[in-house]
Structures are given as C-alpha cells and as structure tokens.
Amino acid sequence: MLVSAVSPWEVAIKVALGRVAVDADLDAEIPRAGFRELPVRFVHAEAMRSLPALHGDPFDRMLIAQARHEGLTIVTRDEQIGRYPVATLAA
C-alpha cells in the first residue's frame, strides 16, 4: 500500500495553521503501519495539468493525478474526488 508524499505535506500545513493536531511522527508511523511512500514526480505534475477544474484543493488534485497515472485507487471520504475518472474506495 502506498501513501502519497502529498498527504503528510498537507497534514503539516494544517498543523502549522492550527487546523488539526497531530502528535504522531508521520515519517515513522506511516512505514511502521506497512505503507510505502509514493513520491511526487514530474510526470504527476504533468498529469495534474490536464485535470479539469472540478476540485479546488491542489493536494487532492495531485492525489488524483498520481492515482490516475499509477493506476491506483484513492481511499477517501471526499465526494468531489469521485467526479474525476479515478478509482475510489470509501473511507
């Protein structure tokens, strides 16, 4: 299972803005939970450029681009992501 590098990046921004509190060291906990990192690559940025503007969150748009390019399924509660042609699994 993979976790995009975008996910802890978004969490870090939300922590810095005081929107969420996270006590765990995600850099240690994510691999400990059996996940591998999916880095953001140039090809993912290119894939993001071609997405229609259905979702305003740039982090979610990158997750969509990565999932489409890599043939992955996104686990999410965000119904907006389902508007894109990408496989999703309800969280």
Domains by residue range for the chain, with CATH: 2-90 (3.40.50.1010)
What mean pLDDT value characterizes the chain?
A: 94
Q: For residue 68, how many other CB atoms are within 10 A of its CB?
A: 19
Confidence band, pLDDT 50/70/90 cuts, at residue 69? very high
Q: Which helix (H) or strand (E) holds 4?
A: strand 2-4
pLDDT in tens, 34-66: 999 999 999 999 999 999 989 889 999 999 999
How many residues make up the chain in this entry?
91
Q: How many CA atoms lie within 13 A of 70 on its CB side?
A: 20
Model pTM score: 0.90
DSSP readout, 12-69? HHHHHTTS----S-HHHHHHHTT-EEE---HHHHHHHHTS-SS---HHHHHHHHHHHH
Tell me the pLDDT band of 71, cut-offs 50, 70 and 90: very high
